[in-house]
Structure 1
Amino acid sequence: MKKENVVSIEDRIPKLKQHRKKKANRRLFFLLTLFLILILSVVYFQSPLSHVKKVEVTGNELIPDDKVLAAGGISTGTSVWGVNKNSVADKLKKLPEVKKAEVRLTFPNTYVISIQEHDKKAYLSRDSRYYVILENGKILDKGTDAMPVDAPLLRGFKEDKVLEKMMKELGELPSEIQQMISEINLTPKDTDQYHVTLYMNDGFEVSATIRTFSEKMIHYPSIASQLDPSRKGVIDLEVGSFFKAYETEDEGTDEEGQNQE
């Protein structure tokens, strides 16, 4: 063996000591870090920072904040880690107004409840008050005395299968056509308990049946665009589609056939 390849034990000892010292330093640093984390954790959990300080509600319009907070059950002062977010969201989705709910923690100690409500589709007139009807067919308990203008008003309906059918058909119409409807009156006939009379925002009246409501009303904009806006009357959509102008003192009944598209 050549002399230059031989490493004496005296040369190796400093390197071994240095390696053991680095290893000991790393172990000491790890233990000190772990100890510091434990101390900070104890301090944190004993401090107000680990307790819920505030609960915010966003996205709600129909349902008030206090009702959301009561249903969610997140109380200020409780541990931020003691809140089951999925459980709170499930409770909120049981409210008739709530379509989706999300609960998230924003550090250090604020919970945010994000609500997506069911769309407002119509109002039900009952006992001189107006009650919101949601897209899921639920009627809200709290009514208003103010005449609604942001959704069709339903008159003569009860909470039964006829109303359910009406809401289903109304929901199948594009929103722009829904917004053209001012009132929907249930005016049953001997031959059709589902007959309705509509009053449109453009001044026309529509005679239809709930059975084919969405199928026929989808053509309303096209039909109305072919009529003289200064001559109001009834657009009959029960079977085919034709227009009957209102009678005036100077003229008799006037009918104009309108082909459904």
Structure 2
Amino acid sequence: MEKIIDIEERIPSLRKKRKRRMTFTFSILLFLFFLALFLILYLQSSWSKVQFIVIEGTEIVETQDILKLSGVAEGESMWGFRTNEIAKRIAAHPAVSEVKVNRSDLTTVRIQIIEHEVVGFRADNEKQLVLSNGEVYESSVAGSLYGPALLDFQNEKAEDRLIAELSKLGVAERGLLSEITSTPSNADPYLVTIYMNDGNTVITSAVQLAENIGHYPSILQQIPDDQKGIVDMEVGIFFKSYDAVYIEEGEEIQIEEEEAAE
């Protein structure tokens, strides 16, 4: 026989359940009210505005150029833009290799830049920097701080190969080079003449420039300290002093390639 529960016995429990539901609903509504109030106050306060724009990593690119490309200005809403869209606009700059844009510290927009490496500059304008991606970018900084002057390149393929090889060199190795000019021969259209900062001249193919310049310090060890001249790396490695070239005094020195390769 089923037990019969009087409705009067169930009323207190029903009341408790209803009270719990009402309390829960009221808590949710109260939370949403204060959340909406907080958002309204936040959006009207200076804490929701851009107060600082930090641009990091620029060396040859003017920060004002990056700021202009970003389209962000102080005083604007921190949530009125998309960081990925800003990054795309900045990445279109010819001297920018990589870019990251993020919001930080509540009121700061941080833009982090990685520039393409400068491998040289145009000889007729020191501020026209030649970049590792092949672009030429006119900057306010002097190109001689970064690499050699590039002269007389009519062969675009030869110049592209030269730029690729210069990109393989470290800053210190590029610092050895003063000027590079294209001096193609019938045998090698990529042949270049390099005027070194120490007074020597190097003749080499642009195809092997990085490898050959890497050997240059050890080549110097086989050249008499009191002599300056031409290091010919076309076939093998030979050194001939300027005296031997111009006044026919002195001898050509064959450089030991195994020692040079060490």
TM-score by length of 2: 0.81
Q: What amino acid is the match of 1:44?
A: Y
C-alpha deviations, 1:110-143, integer Å up to 9, x for none? 21111111111111112x5442111111111347
Residues 86/130 of structure 1: CA separation in 2 closer, same or farther (3 Å cut): closer
Cα separation, 2, equivalents of 1:41 and 1:168: 53
Residues 159/49 of structure 1: CA separation in 2 closer, same or farther (3 Å cut): farther
Paired residue secondary structure (1:247): helix
> Is the CA contact 1:124–1:157 (under 8 Å) kept in the aligned structure 2?
no
C-alpha deviations, 1:224-249, integer Å up to 9, x for none? 22222222211110111111122179
Paired residue secondary structure (1:74): coil
Q: What amino acid is the match of 1:32?
A: L
Cα separation, 2, equivalents of 1:16 and 1:212: 90
Q: Paired residue for 2:79?
A: 81
Residues 130/56 of structure 1: CA separation in 2 closer, same or farther (3 Å cut): closer
The RMSD of aligned alpha carbons is 3.1
Report how far residue 159 of structure 1 moved: 8.0
Residues 251/191 of structure 1: CA separation in 2 closer, same or farther (3 Å cut): closer
Q: What amino acid is the match of 2:255?
A: Q
> Is the CA contact 1:132–1:143 (under 8 Å) kept in the aligned structure 2?
no
> Is the CA contact 2:126–2:144 (under 8 Å) kept in the aligned structure 1?
no
C-alpha deviations, 1:77-125, integer Å up to 9, x for none? 4332121111110111110111111111124332111111111111111
Paired residue secondary structure (1:105): strand
> Is the CA contact 1:123–1:151 (under 8 Å) kept in the aligned structure 2?
yes
Q: Paired residue for 1:252?
A: 249
Cα separation, 1, equivalents of 2:170 and 2:196: 15
Report how far residue 174 of structure 1 moved: 4.1
C-alpha deviations, 1:191-242, integer Å up to 9, x for none? 4432211122333221112233234333222222222222221111011111
Gaps of 5+ in 1: 1-9
Q: Which of 41, 55, 60 is 2:53 aligned to? A: 55
Q: Which of 214, 217, 224 is 1:221 aligned to? A: 217
Report how far residue 21 of structure 1 moved: 5.4
Cα separation, 2, equivalents of 1:137 and 1:207: 23
Cα separation, 2, equivalents of 1:129 and 1:179: 15
Report how far residue 20 of structure 1 moved: 6.5
Are 1:148 and 2:136 an aligned pair? no
Q: What amino acid is the match of 1:247?
A: D
Cα separation, 2, equivalents of 1:79 and 1:61: 29
Residues 171/209 of structure 1: CA separation in 2 closer, same or farther (3 Å cut): same
Cα separation, 2, equivalents of 1:56 and 1:130: 26
Paired residue secondary structure (2:137): coil
What are the equivalent positions in structure 2 for 1:140-219 lying under 5 Å apart? Answer: 140-142=137-139, 148-158=144-154, 160-219=156-215
Residues 147/108 of structure 1: CA separation in 2 closer, same or farther (3 Å cut): closer
Residues 184/82 of structure 1: CA separation in 2 closer, same or farther (3 Å cut): same
> Is the CA contact 2:50–2:74 (under 8 Å) kept in the aligned structure 1?
yes
Q: Paired residue for 1:96?
A: 94
